[in-house]
Amino acid sequence: MVHNMRRGKIKRQEPQNKQIDIASYNKDASPKAYVQNLSGMSSAQKKTMLSAGVDASGKGRSGTYLQMDHSVVHSNSLFAGLEVMSTTQALKKHEWLDNYFWKAVNPQADEFTAQAHTKPNHGYFIRALPGAKVVFPLQACLFITQNNIMQTVHNIIIVEEGSDLQVITGCATAEDVSRGLHIGISEFYVKKNARLTFTMVHNWAEDVSVRPRTAAIVEEGATFLSNYICLKPVKNLQMYPKAELTGRGAIARYNSILFAHPGSHLDVGSKVILKAKDSKAEIVARAISAGGEIIARGYLKADVAPVKAHLECRGLMLKESGKIYAIPELEGNTAGVDLSHEAAVGKIAKEEIEYLMARGMTQGAAQAAIVRGFLDTSIMGLPDELNKQINKAIEACEKEAF
Amino acid sequence: MIKIQNLTVKIADREVLSNINLEIKKGQVMALLGPNGSGKTSLIMAIMGFSDYKITSGDIIFKGKRINNASVDERARMGIGAMFQRPPTIRGVKTRQVVDLIKQENFSTDKAAEELNLKEFLGRDINSGFSGGEIKRSELLQLLAGSPSLSLFDEPESGVDMENIVLVGKMMNRILRKNKDNAALIITHTGYIFDYVKPDRGCILVGSKLHCAGNPKSILTTIKKHGYQWCITCEGERLKDKSHKTSR
Ligand SMILES: Nc1ncnc2c1ncn2[C@@H]1O[C@H](COP(=O)(O)OP(=O)(O)O)[C@@H](O)[C@H]1O
Ligand SMILES: [Mg+2]
């Protein structure tokens, strides 16, 4: 936590970004053709997408959005109350959409955001119409298939009054891509009494840098549930998504599962600003270092009362090297707020490994079971089907991670 | 089944077992009595091979093989199983998952859990918030699943209510009777469990030393009458005529 004391005032500082030379990436990418039928994609591409939670068969999905580099390759909705298209197309279709652009995220926040502001390349537009209960999750995939490019997308999700939507986004790089930069602006609007479950799985490559810039505005009686999973190597990931609870009784919950391979640097946090009475928030993070670095941040800010929010971070060190740095921050600005946090960083307890070994499991099997338990997704409170999908994605990643 | 010869064990720099000699034969049930802190649990942990329990001298011979240097899982796969007194909670690892990973063929996790009144515990993190009695039953479930030839029961009856002690006894017998050669070491300081599982021999551990071996009933009676302190001075000899025999 970095605080500057100046004339008795406490000034909070945002994390400093690791330097990235934006100019070293290609702004342009070759156009990719629209694909009518996703099952026709190469099996390598399908596998990569699946490990990011996106199923090319479209089975059990209410729709799909797929972008490769700067091209919208596929977009469809199978549900009447659901709109799925690129933000570029949506801007043409809905005149009012301007009111949602750059309202949650400040375009001048940093150089990456500014870059996406100047030169966006589509991104998804997803909207659940008022009262629509979209049973199956919608899937969106942002795919980098060309080496050394910079992908800049601007996504918008609007969950209209009383509607219910689940979104799975998978961001991934094709197998032969080693270097790249992904900048993703995402603005989510969860309207009165609506509910959005947003699950993002990242599946990058060793030399890819990633800068998502995400903010959600959650209205009265609405719920925003955000799950983030990053198990694959990534050179350098920095994100600090924010939810503003603006309506009475609004709820936000962030769950993150982070795995740092040797050479990976993850600076990931979640922020919730509680601006309305009776609003609630919970931030839960599980961080594992297998030699890489993780900075796990959390920030809860309460401007009114009564509100209640809790932050929890557990870190597990698997190797002698590596680093997990947990930085929980709480800021109460009035009486009657209830903010709390707990953080713990440690290694796998030897007695837990030996206990399982005493039943006949090998040391490796015992360790894997414990790590798998540490990454238990049942804490995320997801719908069954979605939970299964995510576990599949975790398993696919784990196979390579251990 | 198992032969422990001149075994001395240290935790950190502290000697918790001194020069222990003990043999449990095939098909034999051995009772181990002793006051708190005398090293009973340490003996089980040392036999199982937990790394905090360092053997500084002596040997453990199991089924004719010296296992001093065998890993915990090797010993388990050779047929040693333990019902632990204070098993750790493992967050996110479900009881069912563990049982399914360790069970022998033809073992029905659900059926056994039902018999042990543990059905709703299968979906819970292992040992998380389990009461004393629930821990015992969950440990028994795991032993049943693994079916060891030598079972080490650490205070099977402590914290178990009257109703469940019958169940615990029944399941211990089931584990023992799976094969006529199966053997056990039962740690207790009350002896209540002997109403359900009959020991063939008994011995006493006081202050890290093993004192005598003999008829478990009369050892228990002697302890009840004279207390464990008496055993320290006895060295097994004085009990000789009263059906006790020295282990040395
Ligand atoms: N992990 C440990 N670290 C340090 N001392 C221990 C540990 N486990 C047991 N001891 C000590 O070793 C002695 C024997 O303990 P234990 O074997 O648990 O006795 P019992 O089971 O007979 O009550 C006690 O004095 C106890 O405090
Ligand atoms: Mg004990």
Residue among B41, B155, B187 whose CB has most ligand 1 atoms within 8 A, to mutate: B41
CB A284 within 8 A of CB A258: no
- Which atom number of ligand 1 is nearest to the Cα of residue B35? 22
Write down the mean pLDDT value for chain A.
90
pLDDT digits (tens, 9 = 90+) for A141-160: 999 999 999 999 999 999 99
Q: What is the pLDDT of residue B240?
A: 45
What's the CA gap between A299 and A297, in Å, rounded? 7
pTM for this predicted structure: 0.81
pLDDT digits (tens, 9 = 90+) for A108-118: 999 999 999 99
Q: What is the pLDDT of residue A56?
A: 85
Residue B108 has pLDDT above 70, yes or no: yes
- Does the CB atom of residue B34 touch ligand 1 within 6 A? yes
Residue of B nearest to A374 (CA): B92
Residue of A nearest to B145 (CA): A359
Please indicate whether, in this complex, the C-beta atoms of B102 and A359 are within 8 angstroms of each other.
yes
Residue B238 has pLDDT above 80, yes or no: no
- Which atom number of ligand 1 is nearest to the Cα of residue B42? 17
Alpha-carbon distance values, A293 to A296, A319, A365, A401 (Å): 10, 11, 25, 15
Given phi > 0 = left and psi -120 to 50 = alpha, else beta, which region is B45? alpha
Residue A180 has pLDDT above 50, yes or no: yes
- The Å distance, Cα B48 to ligand 1 centre, comes to 15
- Does the CB atom of residue B152 touch ligand 1 within 6 A? no
* Interface ipTM > 0.95: no
Quick one: which H or E segment has residue B54? strand B53-62
pLDDT digits (tens, 9 = 90+) for A225-238: 999 988 888 888 99
Q: Residue B13 burial by CB count (10 A; 0-12/13-18/19+): exposed, middle or buried? A: exposed
Q: What is the pLDDT of residue B176?
A: 95
pLDDT digits (tens, 9 = 90+) for A245-299: 999 999 999 999 999 999 999 999 999 999 999 999 999 999 999 999 999 999 9
Q: Which of A316, A347, A354 to mutate to test the interface with B (most CBs of B within 10 A)?
A: A354
Residue A130 preceded by cis peptide, ω within 30: no
Q: If you ran DSSP here, which 8-state letter would residue B124 be given?
A: S
What's the CA gap between A144 and A179, in Å, rounded? 10
Tell me the one-letter amino acid at A150.
M
pLDDT digits (tens, 9 = 90+) for B71-81: 999 999 999 99
> Of A199, A197, A107, A102, which is closest to residue A159 (Cα–Cα)?
A197
Residue B237 has pLDDT above 70, yes or no: no
Q: What is the pLDDT of residue A42?
A: 87
- The more confident residue out of B148 and A387 is B148
CB A201 within 8 A of CB A237: no
- Enumerate domains of chain B plus CATH numbers: 2-216 (3.40.50.300)
Residue of B nearest to A365 (CA): B101
Residue of A nearest to B144 (CA): A359
Q: What is the pLDDT of residue B242?
A: 45
Residue B87 has pLDDT above 90, yes or no: yes
Q: If you ran DSSP here, which 8-state letter would residue B103 be given?
A: P
Which of B87, B88, B93 is the closest to A369 by Cβ?
B93
pLDDT digits (tens, 9 = 90+) for A235-254: 889 999 999 999 999 999 99
Burial A261-275 (b: 16+ CB within 10 A, else e): beebbbbbbbbbbbb
Of all protein residues, whose CA lies closest to atom 24 belonging to ligand 1?
B37
pLDDT digits (tens, 9 = 90+) for B163-200: 899 999 999 999 999 999 999 999 987 888 999 999 99
Which of B71, B75, B92 is the closest to A374 by Cβ?
B92
- Does the CB atom of residue B199 touch ligand 1 within 6 A? no
What own/partner pairs with CB < 8 Å and gap ≥ 24 does B127-136 have?
Answer: B127/B87, B127/B88, B127/B89, B127/B90, B128/B89, B128/B90, B128/B91, B129/B89, B131/B159, B132/B158, B132/B159, B132/B160, B133/B159, B133/B160, B133/B161, B133/B164, B135/B87, B135/B159, B136/B83, B136/B160, B136/B164, B136/B168
Please indicate whether, in this complex, the C-beta atoms of B50 and A376 are within 8 angstroms of each other.
no
Q: How far is B219 from chain A (nearest CA, A)?
A: 31
Write down the mean pLDDT value for chain B.
89
Q: How far is A204 from chain B (nearest CA, A)?
A: 26
β-pairing, A251-260 vs B14-24, is unpaired
Please indicate whether, in this complex, the C-beta atoms of A356 and B91 are within 8 angstroms of each other.
no
Q: What is the pLDDT of residue B210?
A: 86
Quick one: which H or E segment has residue B139? helix B132-146
Would you call A8 an interface residue with chain B, using a CB distance cutoff of 8 Å? no
Q: What is the pLDDT of residue B245?
A: 42
Q: What is the pLDDT of residue B95?
A: 95
Please indicate whether, in this complex, the C-beta atoms of B77 and A360 are within 8 angstroms of each other.
yes
* Contacting residues for B194 by C-beta, under 8 A, at least 6 apart: B31, B188, B216, B217, B220
Q: Which of A350, A357, A362, A380 to mutate to test the interface with B (most CBs of B within 10 A)?
A: A357
CB A198 within 8 A of CB A208: no
Q: What is the pLDDT of residue A17?
A: 67
CB A350 within 8 A of CB A321: no
Residue B241 has pLDDT above 50, yes or no: no
**Chain centroid to CA B74:** 18
- Strand, helix or coil at A90? helix
- The Å distance, Cα B94 to ligand 1 centre, comes to 28
Closest ligand to the CA of B13: 1
* Contacting residues for B227 by C-beta, under 8 A, at least 6 apart: none
- Average confidence (pLDDT) over A52-68: 87
CB A337 within 8 A of CB A307: yes
Residue A94 has pLDDT above 70, yes or no: yes
Residue A5 has pLDDT above 60, yes or no: no
A349, A350, A356, A361 alpha-carbon torsion, rounded to 10°: 120
Chain A residues whose beta carbon lies within 8 Å of the beta carbon of residue B102: 359-361
What's the CA gap between A341 and A328, in Å, rounded? 7
pLDDT digits (tens, 9 = 90+) for A341-383: 999 999 999 999 999 999 999 999 998 899 888 888 777 766 6
Residue of A nearest to B85 (CA): A355
Q: What is the pLDDT of residue B244?
A: 44
B202, two tokens: 């008994």
Chain A residues whose beta carbon lies within 8 Å of the beta carbon of residue B101: 359, 361, 365, 369
The number of residues in chain A equals: 402
Half-sphere exposure of A34 (CA within 13 A, CB side): 8
